[in-house]
Amino acid sequence: FFSFIRKDDELIKWYDREDHTIFDVCADDHCQRYQGITKATSPQVAQAIHATRGQILLNDNEICDARFSKCCGGATEEFQYCWENIKKPYLVAVRDVANVEGKEDAATNLPDLTIEANAERWIRTAPESLCNTNDRQILSEVLNDYDQETTDFYRWHVTYTQEQLQNLVTERLKIEFGDIVDLIPVERGRSGRICRLKIVGTKQSFTIGKELEIRRALSNTHLYSSAFVVDKEDVKDGVPQTFRLTGAGWGHGVGLCQIGAAVMGAKGYNYDQILLHYYRGAEIKKIYK
C-alpha cells in the first residue's frame, strides 16, 4: 500500500503513515524506527508526559500532524514535497535559528532553496543553525547508541563509482539505464530537498520522487536526505566514472528537528517555545486535566 503517480518516464511515490500491508508499524524510518512495546521509557519522558497532561498541539482546532526528523540541515521542509500534495499551514519551511531578542524573526530569513543556484550554495556551505552541533552531551540525549556513530549528519558526502551507481539504481528501480550520465534535480522543496530527480542513462532516462523514494534508490539502505548536489568526476566519452554527492541533513526535514530542538532546550527555551518554533501558527491548548 502506497500512493503514487506513474507515467512512462516517471514514478512519483510517497509513503503515508497507514501504508502497511499486514501490520500497523514497521522498523524503518517510515515509522521512525519503532522498537517494540517492551522498550523502557526514561524518567525524563515520564516527567514530560505528566507535566504536559491534557495539552494538545492544535491548528484551527484540529490536532496537528506533528511530523519530525533527526536533523533538518538548517531548514525545515514543507509537507507537500514529501507526501500528498496538500499544504499544511503549520508545516512550513523554517530556517533553524532561534529568534534574537525579539527582533525580526530570523527563522523566516531563508533563501529560496527551490532555486537550484541557491540550493547548491546552501548545501555546499554550512550555515549557522541550531542543528549544526557536535555537542556530544546534546546528541546523546537525542540519538540512540548506534546513531551516535554518525557525526556528519549536518553536511555529508557519499561517493559512488559508475559501476556502483549503475548497479544500485538498476537493482532498486528494476530499470536498465545503461551507463549513468547524470543525476538532475527536476524539482526541489523549500529546504533544498529534491522531490523529483531525473536519472539520465545511455539507454534511457527516468524521473523518480518523492524524497524517500530518491533516498532509497541511491543507497543500499537510504541516503541521509534528498538535499544534495552532485559532482561528476573523471568523465570519459561523456560518461562520469565517479559521482560525489554532497548533502544536508538527516531525514525528511518536515516539522520538528530533533537535534535543533535539543539544542534549543540546552539554551533554555521551554517546550512551548520549541514546538511553536517548528510548528508555525499552531497553538498549545489544554483540553483536559
The string of pLDDT tens digits covering residues 191-238 is 999 999 999 999 999 999 999 999 999 999 889 999 999 999 999 999
What's the pLDDT at 30? 62
Going by C-alpha positions, the residue among 233, 250, 206 that lies closest to residue 70 is 250
Confidence of residue 102 (pLDDT cuts 50, 70, 90): very low
How far apart CA 140 and CA 149 sit, in angstroms, is 10
Q: Given this model, what pLDDT does residue 244 score?
A: 98
Q: What is the pLDDT of residues 77-97, one digit of tens each?
A: 999 999 999 999 999 999 999
201 to each of 19, 28, 117, 181, 280, how far by Cα in Å? 31, 30, 24, 5, 41
Higher pLDDT, 269 or 25: 269
Grid cell locating 278: 517548528
**Phi, psi dihedral angles at 13 (to 5 degrees):** -125, 140
Distance CA 162, CA 265 (A): 44
What CA–CA distance (Å, rounded) separates 6 from 96? 35
Q: Average pLDDT over the chain, rounded to whole?
A: 89
145 vs 259: CA distance, rounded Å: 15
Hey, CA dihedral for 197, 200, 201, 207, is it positive or negative? positive
Report the interhelical angle of 271-278 vs 258-266 (nearest 10°): 140
| Residue boundaries of the structural domains of the chain | 155-248
Edge to edge, the sheet with strand 239-248 lists 155-161, 239-248, 228-236
Tell me, what's the pLDDT at 245?
98
Asked if 122 contacts 248 with a C-beta cutoff of 8 angstroms, the reply is yes
Which pLDDT belongs to residue 122?
98
Mean pLDDT over 117-132 rounds to 96
